[in-house]
Amino acid sequence: MREQHAEASLISGCYNQPDWTAVSSLTLLDDQSGVYEGSCVTAAKVMNTQQRLRLTVDGAAVTVNVRIVGTGPRVLFVHGWNHSGEIWQLVQEELGTDYETVAIDLPGFGASPPLERRAIALAAYARILSVTATKLSNERPLFGIVADSLGAVLTLTCFEELALTSDRFLLSGCPARGLPRGLKALGGKGVISASLRLLQVIPSSISMKAARILALGTVHRLKDVHPIVVRALLDTDPLTSEILYRELCAVRGLPIQRLLPTNRVVILRGQHDRIATQEASNALAAQLGARLVELPGVGHTPMIEDAPQYATVLRALLAEKGAP
């Protein structure tokens, strides 16, 4: 855990809060049915289980890989573009056994098989997330939902359904107004899929180095490019990545309704995030009436670049009035 962090200051918030002084280092700015199969391994700190959740969504079979760590109230984690559920590993370890953290691999990422080409769309992924959350909450109540980047966009897209499963949300790195103009050039037909296919066929010694360099598009400092980020990039289905990226490029804003009084939402961004800009994050927090938190010294992958502080923000949210 890092020893020194910046001072905290409150920027915005709309609901009664708990003691947030613990966040001292931050700038606060079916037929939807499913079955499990999997195995369990013991990690150094907590029990780590990997399972496959088999769902029926819009009449089609969908397989979602899940990583479950810890015990206690259940919290769902949803990763971003070209990441996987493994991206949450460091945060899951920070939370230890206080919560049962369930990190999913969206189809085409991590260990979850891709959808058929015609089925790949942001709307379809939002429905998959909704069905997954509903299935998990039917087994045990979801105490919170944590979603990053693409996952945050999907969460906002199906927020009404997800609000029925949980009342606490932490959304990080959310490009709610779409991707910055300079990044849209990557959305040209075949650019992303060809690049990923090349990375996945060249010798691993070269691909790992190249992937580390590419990761600098989201990570602020090269030293913070964790092997988890590199592995996720190399495990991503190229076609899934390209189609979803093109759809993210077309996003101009999301139809977001103001929160219900029972909802508790935190919008989190890294100080140096070039994708979820400060202006867009401010606007999203104001639109939702949510709290905005900015982590100093990190980019678009704060759960990797500063997992202890990410976990601190999440703990504060989960500890608000009404916690078990």
Tell whether 37 is covered by a domain: yes
Give the single-character DSSP code of 211. H
Q: Is residue 223 included in any domain, yes or no?
A: no
| Rounded CA separation 69/43 (Å) | 9
Question: What does the pLDDT read at residue 251?
Answer: 82
With H, G, I as helix, E, B as strand and everything else as coil, classify residue 145: strand
Backbone region of residue 177 per phi and psi (left: phi > 0; alpha: psi in -120 to 50; beta: other values): alpha
Residue 168's pLDDT is 94
Look at residue 40 and tell me if it is in a domain: yes
Contact indicator for 87, 228 with CB cutoff of 8 Å: yes
Could you tell me the pTM of the whole model?
A: 0.83
Q: Does residue 4 form part of some domain?
A: no
Q: What is the pLDDT of residues 62-115, one digit of tens each?
A: 999 999 999 899 999 999 999 999 999 999 999 988 999 999 999 999 999 999
The pLDDT, as a whole number, for residue 104 is 98
In this structure, is residue 68 part of a structural domain? yes
| pLDDT (0 to 100) of residue 202 | 85
Domain assignment present for residue 58? The answer is yes
* CA–CA distance, 8 with 28 (Å, rounded to integer): 6
What pLDDT was estimated at residue 42? 36
Domain that holds residue 272: 20-178+253-318
Residue type, 293: V
User: Residue 30: its pLDDT value, please?
Assistant: 33
Alpha-carbon torsion (172, 176, 177, 179), positive or negative: positive
Number of domains making up the chain: 1
Residue 289 counted as domain residue: yes
**Identity (one letter) of the amino acid at 50?**
Q
pLDDT score at 161? 87
- Distance from the Cα of residue 14 to its chain's centroid: 23
Residue 121 belongs to a domain with what CATH number?
3.40.50.1820
Average pLDDT, the chain: 81
- Give which of 32, 87, 28 is closest to 232, Cα–Cα: 87
Planar angle of CA 255, 258, 264, nearest 5 degrees: 120
CB contact set of 204 (below 8 Å; sequence gap of 6+): none
Structure-token pair, residue 86? 């493994």
Low-confidence ranges of the chain (pLDDT < 50): 1-45, 323-324
Provide the strand spans (E) within 70-99.
74-78
Note whether residue 122 is domain-resident: yes
